[in-house]
Chain A
Amino acid sequence: AQTVTQSQPEMSVQEAETVTLSCTYDTSESNYYLFWYKQPPSRQMILVIRQEAYKQQNATENRFSVNFQKAAKSFSLKISDSQLGDTAMYFCAFMIQGGSEKLVFGKGTKLTVNP
């Protein structure tokens, strides 16, 4: 079974600074996808970024980027120039490609951006 671990239950950062959220996963599969989802106080689940396991290049979406270390099974999210609207719960998620494509989530990291 696949597991996803987020070791930081809570983090805080000052506005305009950079913060990195950690995620590790365990799988014996070779073809999979990794995602970061954001859940603000509204409870909406918002897709932040996606990484294909077969790609060596780290994904980037504006202020959000990942550091994907396949051998170490690590998938961290870096948020640059943090904004107040980034305050949310962040979930790391794993999906096997070619399987049912269900998402397996970590327990989440609650990020607070302080003014």
Chain B
Amino acid sequence: AAGVIQSPRHLIKEKRETATLKCYPIPRHDTVYWYQQGPGQDPQFLISFYEKMQSDKGSIPDRFSAQQFSDYHSELNMSSLELGDSALYFCASSLTRTTYEQYFGPGTRLTVT
């Protein structure tokens, strides 16, 4: 069965640089979620999109933005990177209002030096 695809899997950036993370949801899933997991932490919700419209926003810094495109893939853009942005970034997708089950991608490990 198809799974959520995230790219890149690993990313190393320097402080103040910009990063773009991509997510390709499971086909026919209508909702995409982004989570951030710091070292030794639980995943924290950042932002979600339902049918290409932003549906909810969590503790996402103003330096971060995201969108979902017409083909349902999503991108998380991160600017002016800080050391504290080093984390594992997950994308998850679901068929909302049907099963409510979120399926996670493998994550993108971002390291800011």
Contact = CB atoms under 8 A, between A and B. Distances in A.
Interface of A: 33, 35, 37, 42-47, 50, 91, 95, 97, 99-108
16 contacts: A44-B104, A45-B43, A47-B102, A50-B99, A50-B100, A97-B100, A101-B94, A101-B102, A102-B33, A102-B45, A102-B56, A103-B43, A103-B102, A105-B44, A106-B42, A107-B42
- Label chain A's interface by main secondary structure: loop
Interface of B: 31, 33, 35, 37, 41-45, 48, 55-56, 58, 88, 90, 92, 94, 96, 99-104, 106-107, 109
Contacts of B31: 101
A108 B58 contact: no
B45 A108 contact: no
A105 B42 contact: yes
A44 B102 contact: no
Contact of A101 (B41, B100, B104): B100
A45 B58 contact: no
Given A33-B100, A44-B107, A101-B94, 18 more contacts: A35-B101, A44-B104, A45-B90, A47-B102, A47-B104, A50-B100, A99-B56, A100-B56, A101-B56, A101-B96, A102-B45, A102-B48, A103-B33, A103-B35, A103-B45, A105-B44, A106-B42, A107-B41
